[in-house]
Amino acid sequence: MTPEMLYALRDQAGVPAHPALFLILGVLTFALHIAAVQVMLGTSALTLRGAFSAETHWRRLAAAMLTTAKVAVSVAIVLGVAPLLFVQVIYDPFWYTSNVLSAWWVIGFIVALIGGYLAMYMFYWRNHDLVRDGARGTAWMAVSVALLLLVGFIVHSLTNQMLFPQDWMQWYAPGGAIDPSGRSLHYWNLPRFGFFIALSAPVTGAWLYAYRRYLIGAGEADAAYLDWVRALAQRLMVAGGAAALLLGTLWMVTLPATMAWFATSPWVWLALAALLAVVALPLALGPRLDRGFWGYGIFGAGALALIVVGAAREALRYGTLLGAHGYNALDYRVQMDWYSTVLFFVTFAVVGGVTLGYLLTVAWQAGQQREGAYTPGPRVTALGQWSVRLLVLWTLAYFGVGLWVWLR
Ligand code: HEM
């Protein structure tokens, strides 16, 4: 594929704001997506490990982790859509070709995702009181984890096929005979996939520190359980961090020739330093973990480290497509559209901020109240009323502008 052919595959309408904006938003939202995916996988694995245990601490943890996993799947899906939008805007020649080459799997992705989510609910419906009774049968939860991993593997493959324009013709017409079925995934790198999956352990360790701090805030009386959770969190961070490091190293040494430059670039050292700093943070904080926001801070620091990892991953893609294929994602023709750009940020910051702020505050405060029914105070109630008003206003503006453009 010559650079001219790749540029010809671009959307001739251009992009509605500077491509750097899409690149940065892509990195930020990918970091959030992968954090949610890692919490989802880690809490699912802890559910599997704990639900069948004879130990009450494990069973109690499994019950809490199953609740987390159910929510994390939906958060991972919602936060997966965002990087999907950005990647297809500035890398459309690559993303769509990769998708068309494996179209069968792109549709299969949705089926596997629905199956994985349903299987998790099947496990939940069959096991209502994990703390008291433990679980009956591993099957549903194991099927759920396997299908969710398959979903991740498909995205991994699509993301990587993008980076090999030199192989597309061979994949589309092996030996000169066209295969339009889209039934094959053509490229994967197991150490790279394993690296992102293994990071689930330290990220879930950081999540457990926050869970523990939350329990302390709610007046948890079982000190032995709190100590046990802390020891488990630390083990997950150290052992999981080491596994991720190993897989990350393997990824670097198995990089194909067009990407080998990346292994010695500063990006790798930056990502490594960020991850190591997060693993060391709980040790540095010591007893402060139980006070203020420090216990939550480890997960916050983990999210920042994932942004650094996401930036490095983006540097690999941008640098490879520019260096080896002459495609510069940042020279996309800009057709500035202020309305859609402003609408995006207002939706994100104002509508999203107020609505999510309300939901999270209610969930948080309800969980922190041990006795009696929870009733939100006047400020929280006002926030809830504003979130409804803003959603109505947003809907009116959205359809109003559409109608105005249509009737004009
Ligand atoms: C629920 C199970 C899921 C898992 C385990 C998962 C896992 C992953 C992993 C491991 C990556 C990084 C791949 C790599 O760089 O090699 C990734 C990237 C990504 N995922 Fe997910 N994912 C899941 C669901 C979703 C969903 C439902 C969506 C979309 C709605 C989505 C959209 C994306 C996008 C857009 C990227 C980045 C693409 C890019 O930058 O090229 N994922 N995911």
Atom of ligand 1 nearest to the CA of 26: 40
Please check whether residue 29 is in contact with residue 310, taking contact to mean a CB–CB distance below 8 angstroms: no
Same domain membership, residue 405 and residue 269: no
Same domain membership, residue 30 and residue 108: yes
Atom of ligand 1 nearest to the CA of 160: 16
Same domain membership, residue 175 and residue 317: yes
Last residue of one domain, picked from the residues 336, 357, 372 = 336
Same domain membership, residue 352 and residue 269: no
Separation of 121 CA from ligand 1 center, angstroms?
A: 21
Pocket-testing residue among 155, 193, 314, ligand 1, by greatest number of atoms within 8 A of Cβ: 155
* 3-class DSSP state of 15: strand
Quick one: pLDDT at residue 133? 87
Same domain membership, residue 222 and residue 342: no
Tokens of 98: 């990769």
Atom of ligand 1 nearest to the CA of 95: 41
Separation of 136 CA from ligand 1 center, angstroms?
A: 31
Sequence-distant (6+) residues with CB within 8 A of 108 are 154
Tally of CB atoms within 10 A around 360: 10
Last residue of one domain, picked from the residues 320, 336, 352 = 336
Separation of 400 CA from ligand 1 center, angstroms?
A: 34
Separation of 79 CA from ligand 1 center, angstroms?
A: 9
Q: Is 79 in the pocket of ligand 1 (CB under 6 A)?
A: no
Same domain membership, residue 255 and residue 191: yes
Q: Is 229 in the pocket of ligand 1 (CB under 6 A)?
A: no
Give the chain's domain count. Answer: 2
Separation of 331 CA from ligand 1 center, angstroms?
A: 26
Same domain membership, residue 290 and residue 148: yes
Sequence-distant (6+) residues with CB within 8 A of 27 are 307, 310, 311, 314
Same domain membership, residue 378 and residue 251: no
Last residue of one domain, picked from the residues 311, 336, 361 = 336
Q: Burial of 192 by CB count in 10 Å (0-12 exposed, 13-18 middle, 19+ buried)?
A: buried
In whole angstroms, what is the distance from residue 145 CA to residue 43 CA? 10
Quick one: pLDDT at residue 15? 97
Separation of 83 CA from ligand 1 center, angstroms?
A: 8
Q: Is 114 in the pocket of ligand 1 (CB under 6 A)?
A: no
Atom of ligand 1 nearest to the CA of 159: 41
Same domain membership, residue 182 and residue 121: yes
Same domain membership, residue 191 and residue 91: yes
In whole angstroms, what is the distance from residue 148 CA to residue 40 CA? 9
Q: Is 148 in the pocket of ligand 1 (CB under 6 A)?
A: yes
- Which is nearest to 71 in space by CA: 395, 356, 383? 356
Same domain membership, residue 347 and residue 230: no
Residue/partner pairs of 346-350 with CB below 8 Å, 24 or more apart: 347/394, 350/390
Separation of 226 CA from ligand 1 center, angstroms?
A: 33
Q: Is 226 in the pocket of ligand 1 (CB under 6 A)?
A: no
Domain that holds residue 359: 338-408
What are the pLDDT tens digits along the chain (408 aa)?
899 999 999 999 999 999 999 999 999 999 999 999 999 999 999 999 999 999 999 999 999 999 999 999 999 999 999 999 999 999 999 999 999 999 999 999 999 999 999 999 999 999 989 999 888 888 999 999 999 999 999 999 999 999 999 999 999 999 999 999 999 999 999 999 999 999 999 999 999 999 999 999 999 999 999 999 999 999 999 999 999 999 999 999 999 999 999 999 999 999 999 999 999 999 999 999 999 999 999 999 999 999 999 999 999 999 999 999 999 999 999 999 999 999 999 999 999 999 999 999 999 999 888 788 999 999 999 999 999 999 999 999 999 999 999 999
Same domain membership, residue 345 and residue 302: no
Quick one: pLDDT at residue 104? 98
Separation of 236 CA from ligand 1 center, angstroms?
A: 23
Name which residue sits closest to atom 4 of ligand 1, judged by CA.
152
